[in-house]
Structure 1
Amino acid sequence: MELDKNRIALGIKQPWAELILRGKKTIEVRSRSTNVRGTIYLYTSKKTATETYAVKAIQDHELDNCKFPLGLIVGSVEIAECRLTTPQDTVKSCLSPLELENRYAWIMKNPIRFSKPQPVRFLPYGIWFYPFCRRKESSA
């Protein structure tokens, strides 16, 4: 597998990365908007989300959280759009309407799971980071 060394990555906790790769979660909910569009890498944080709604998502989707890859690039996804969330985003975000209030919906398409998760050369320094090269100026 040939990696794009200049591609930006999004740091995200499990189970959210797993649900994105399965195509169950097509909306990533964040407190800020983003201008990033196009294909990005998905980097799984070293810790699994422990919030009640994350535990509920694990149960609802019958995931085995002991098998989640952590601290690795697990795949890629395309960010197609960013807009304010609506109550209708509950299914596509795997969240309740309460968690959607005053948030942004990052619309994700075309997830690709890597057959072998990849270690990063540079550790995350925020939500966005360059896992294989030094930081560049970006509009993230």
Structure 2
Amino acid sequence: MKGLIIKSPWIELILEGKKTWEIRGSNTKIRGPIALIKSGSGMVYGEVNVSDSKELTLKDYQVSNEFHRVQSESSQALPYKKTYAWVLEKPRIYKEPIPYKHPMGAVIWVNLSI
């Protein structure tokens, strides 16, 4: 399973079902279940399904705060040259976080054996 590294407070919002778009500077072809790793923790906290990835215009980004949860004052410009919303569904929080071994150089994705 692939693990996506996400910083706090975004990972908590995703796992609570309050953030359904993860904003990234690249597209992803990955679909289906992925694990969610809290950046810097060495732990997998849950999982979510990736159902889509779509490129956003500035207008899309500005009117979609309810999905990505970035504060409106930060929405004056796109955060990346090309900005994508990775659409997330069906979050599931693990009862106990699962430790994993972080490979050197991994920044976005980690291949997990859980």
Shorter-chain TM-score: what band?
0.7 to 0.9
Pair 1:72–1:31, CA change in 2 (3 A): same
Whose helix fraction is larger, Structure 1's or Structure 2's? 1
Instruction: Answer yes or no: is the 8 Å Cα contact 1:72–1:119 preserved in 2.
Output: yes
Aligned counterparts of 2:87 and 2:23: Cα–Cα separation in 1: 9
Counting matched residue pairs gives 104
Per mean C-alpha deviation after superposition, the further-off stretch among 13-22 and 96-105 is 96-105
Amino acid at match of 1:10: L
Give TM-score scaled by structure 1 length. Answer: 0.68
Aligned counterparts of 2:77 and 2:16: Cα–Cα separation in 1: 21
In the alignment, structure 2 segments of 5+ residues that lack a partner are: none
| Deviation at residue 91 of structure 1 after TM alignment | 1.5
What fraction of aligned residue pairs are identical, expressed as a percent?
33
Aligned match of 2:34: 40
Instruction: Answer yes or no: is the 8 Å Cα contact 1:122–1:130 preserved in 2.
Output: no
| Deviation at residue 113 of structure 1 after TM alignment | 0.1
In the alignment, structure 1 segments of 5+ residues that lack a partner are: 1-6, 47-69, 134-140
Aligned match of 2:23: 29
Of the candidates 92, 98, 102, which is equivalent to residue 76 of structure 2?
98
Of the candidates 48, 59, 70, which is equivalent to residue 77 of structure 1?
48
Give TM-score scaled by structure 2 length. Answer: 0.82
Pair 1:26–1:99, CA change in 2 (3 A): farther
Structure of higher RCO (CA pairs closer than 8 Å, 6+ residues apart) = 2
Aligned match of 1:107: 87
CA-based RMSD: 1.8
